[in-house]
């Protein structure tokens, strides 16, 4: 699958996750977010930027537990909790924020 945006074609998997990590930029992220019904604020970008930094370092998206912990470290306890993250990304920080951050779809058992 793929989609067109600003005159460029973006390859995606069946669920709309970007195939190439390097295709990603802020504009296309905002576009994917719009398709998801998410309006990006500074708070949203904090999460997306963290996910990309982490992925570049470890080649894997962080477990939710680590995401929460790191958010707590960087931005304090009012942002380092799951209710806050689900408020920003109602479909789930794993599924939705990874999509907007241009990371592969997280897999999960059960």
Mark whether 98 is an active-site residue: no
Query: What is d(CA 43, CA 45) in angstroms, rounded to the nearest whole number?
Result: 5
Judged on CB neighbours under 10 Å (0-12, 13-18, 19+), 32 is buried
Interaction between residue 56 and another protein (CB under 8 A): no
Question: Which is nearer to ligand HEM, 83 or 110 (by Cβ)?
Answer: 110
Q: With CB under 8 A as the rule, give the number of residues binding another protein.
A: 20
Interaction between residue 110 and another protein (CB under 8 A): yes
Q: Across the chain, where does the E strand assignment appear?
A: 2-5, 8-11
Q: List residues near another protein by CB under 8 A.
A: 63-65, 68, 81-83, 85-86, 90-92, 94-95, 105-110
- Residues with a catalytic annotation lie at 109
């Amino acid at each position: 699958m793929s989609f067109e945006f600003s005159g460029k074609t973006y390859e995606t998997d069946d669920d709309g996750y970007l195939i190439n990590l390097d295709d990603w930029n802020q504009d296309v992220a905002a576009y994917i977010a719009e398709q998801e019904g998410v309006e990006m604020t500074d708070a949203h970008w904090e999460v997306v930027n963290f996910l990309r930094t982490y992925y570049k370092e470890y080649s894997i998206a962080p477990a939710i537990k680590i995401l929460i912990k790191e958010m707590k470290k960087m931005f304090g306890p009012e942002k380092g909790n799951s209710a806050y993250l689900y408020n920003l990304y109602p479909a789930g920080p794993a599924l939705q924020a990874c999509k907007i951050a241009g990371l592969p779809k997280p897999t999960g058992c059960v």
